[in-house]
Structure 1
Amino acid sequence: MWSEVKHMLSRTLSSLSFQTWIEGTTATVEDDKVIVHCTNPLQKNWLKALYASYIEQAVEKVCGKRMIIQFEAPHELSDEQFMLIWNYMIALEKQTWNLEARVTKVERRMEEIEKEVAQLRERTEFLERLLAADEQPITKTYIH
């Protein structure tokens, strides 16, 4: 069941988010409760804060009913530790989004440059053909 939920989440979330937060999890089912086993407290808190609704929806689609989602991790973080890490992760996430936007912009510009280069090649080939035609020996015809 959990592998189906994870597959559904992999299609919903960005690949980076899925790989970072969901892929390494396991889960068990007890009655109407799904217990998501996280590898660490940060992952647990992050999943609860950002991805719980996605997980709930995916579990409901796979199981055909709403279930209680519970997250467990081997050790707990204090609220202060969590907030420090949370703020750091938000900053990293923003940097990632900015980098992705910049990469997309560079990719678009590279496509434009490739088109311009192709046009220049076509013009160069055309001009080379014209020059080759001009270099043909001219035969003179004399009228007597």
Structure 2
Amino acid sequence: MTAGISVNLHSATPPYEQIRAQITSLIAVGALAPGTRLPTVRSLAADLGIAAGTVARAYKELEQSGLIETRRRNGTVVAGMPAPTAPARMPAAVSAEVIAAVERYIGAGREAGLDDDALLAILRTKLSQQDEYGEKASSQ
């Protein structure tokens, strides 16, 4: 099952993160349904031409996030998308301009190989700088 999973060794994104993100996406869009058995760590590593530890790390992170689970006799299977936690409420009157700016930010971050955690960290840093320095942080 390498269909849909590939690793770009020249990317700034570590291979384990590429695997984690791709499997997460496949689960999110329904290409990997709950109960679907994933290849063994060694098998996927061999298919992708990378170290088994790299795949093991991706699987470990997927398991910690509740997307997959490892069962002794059944191997590693898709658990499905976890139930969403209470989302932060979006203000009712968010302008299309703000939404478009956020989408551009996400797109630029993805092109740079950044994951959600990195994008949120950058945003939090900038927000805290703005809190500390007022409007000047936005022009830096």
Q: TM-score range by the shorter chain?
A: under 0.3
The structure whose residues are more often strand, as a share, is 1
TM-score, structure 2 normalization: 0.23
TM-score, structure 1 normalization: 0.22
